[in-house]
Amino acid sequence: MVDTRALEAVLFVSDEPLTPAVLCQALEVGRRMIDDLCAKLQGELADRGSGLVLRNVAGGWRLFTEPETQPIVERFVLSSRQARMTKAALETLAIVAYKQPVTRHQVSAIRGVNADGVLRALVDRGLIEEAGRDEGPGRPLLYATTPAFLERLGLASLAALPSLAPLLDASAQPTDAADRAADPEEVPGEEPDDQPEDRPEERDEAPEPPEGLEESGPDAEG
């Protein structure tokens, strides 16, 4: 006979709410029995002061942590090494999110390093998945984000991802400022005046007198 232990075990290993139909199939019992078992398990968890509670959400049943344990659970999750992602993983995940579907080679080209291991780790975490094959030579695998990625970031869809345009504009501004600092005398909108104005050449000697007047004067021969 099926008891609440089997139900609790099935719910424990699931990472999403289980509908009554799924539970009926898993435990091989009828719908009425599932309803009775879920109600009984709810009572048992509450009576023994368990750290878990059973709730009916999104059309199915799922185990949750007791709300009073939230501060401790939150502190553990945030401090857990397994909950953290490396800089390489974050960079790779961002590339996939904004360029998807994208191949392994494209990700590696953008990051400048081999991304095979990081992509595998993100697939294992359930944040990205294989999304078919590219039509190019060799038909490499394509990668895209998963619904779990949207859930982790609290996004309704990929359209809610922040725009990259402000970041690109901000990165271009320091370069322009550096160029102006390197040439402070340059006036914006005007061409630099590299050529000197045409001026008569200055001479140390007096200009030669007109022809026929060279010998005029009191010292000239008569």
Alpha helices, H only, the chain: 4-13, 20-27, 31-47, 70-79, 87-99, 104-111, 116-125, 147-153, 165-182
Residue 161 gets which letter from DSSP? Answer: S
DSSP state of 135: S
pTM: 0.42
d(CA 36, CA 76): 34
C-alpha distances out from residue 189 to 23, 32, 186, 192, 194, Å: 73, 81, 9, 10, 15
- Asked if 64 and 52 touch (Cβ cutoff 8 Å), the reply is yes
Q: What is the pLDDT of residue 218?
A: 44
Using an 8 Å Cβ cutoff, are 17 and 11 in contact? no
- What is the dihedral angle through the alpha carbons of 133, 139, 141, 145, rounded to the nearest 10 degrees? -40
Topology of the domain comprising 83-160: Arc Repressor Mutant, subunit A (1.10.10)
Domain with CATH 1.10.10.10 in the chain: 4-69, 83-160
The whole-number pLDDT of residue 59 equals 80
Each of the 222 residues of the chain gets a pLDDT tens digit; together they read 578 888 889 988 887 888 999 999 988 888 899 889 999 998 998 888 888 888 888 788 888 888 888 888 888 776 654 556 788 999 999 999 999 999 999 999 999 998 888 999 899 888 999 999 988 888 999 999 999 888 888 888 888 888 888 777 665 555 554 455 444 444 444 444 444 444 444 445 555 554 544 444 444 444
CA distances from 50 to 3, 18, 53, 89 (A): 18, 20, 7, 36
Structural fold of domain 4-69: Arc Repressor Mutant, subunit A (1.10.10)
